[in-house]
Amino acid sequence: MAHTFNNGPVLAKTLELCQTILDQPEFQALQRDIETFLTDEPAKQLYRTVAEKGEYLHHKQYQGLQLDQEEIADYEKHREALLANGVAMAFLQAQQHMRDLQDTVTKYVTKTIEIGRLPAPEDFESCGSGCSCGH
């Protein structure tokens, strides 16, 4: 039996959802913030520096090595500079909003497939892993 999920009404509605997302003014603003960041070399360099220093500290800690206060202070100095940069901060917020959007869409589609109907708010309630309360 051939499935039409990849070329029938499901794809058409998926593309419609994608267009709806693209048409949202909020989404367009997020894209502008990301594009602005990508053309701002000083902001990108701040971001790279913080990412590299953070990765170095994480790797060092993972190896069981002691982090010295000078390294931590240097990382914090660069992190504060990154967060004080308006373009970089807008980029970081835009990234988070994009992830939130992606997570919401994924959560609803996944839950719909799992339960075989449109999910209600209570379908997303949970007390945590291993809970036996029926959520």
- 10-14, 16-20, 45-49, 74-78: lowest mean pLDDT where? 10-14
The predicted model gives 17-35 an average pLDDT of 97
Question: Cα(58)–Cα(11) distance, rounded to whole angstroms?
Answer: 42
Ramachandran bin of 85, using left for φ above 0, alpha for ψ from -120 to 50, beta for the remaining angles: beta
Return mean pLDDT, the chain.
92
The predicted model gives 75-82 an average pLDDT of 98
Question: Cα(57)–Cα(61) distance, rounded to whole angstroms?
Answer: 6
Query: Cα torsion for 115, 118, 121, 123, to the nearest 10°?
Result: 0
The predicted model gives 49-59 an average pLDDT of 97
- 24-33, 105-114, 124-133: lowest mean pLDDT where? 124-133
- Judge whether 56 and 116 are in contact, CB under 8 Å: no
Question: Cα(14)–Cα(23) distance, rounded to whole angstroms?
Answer: 14
Residue 77: pLDDT over 50: yes
Residue 107: pLDDT over 80: yes
What pLDDT, on a 0 to 100 scale, did the predictor assign at position 131?
59
Length of the chain: 135
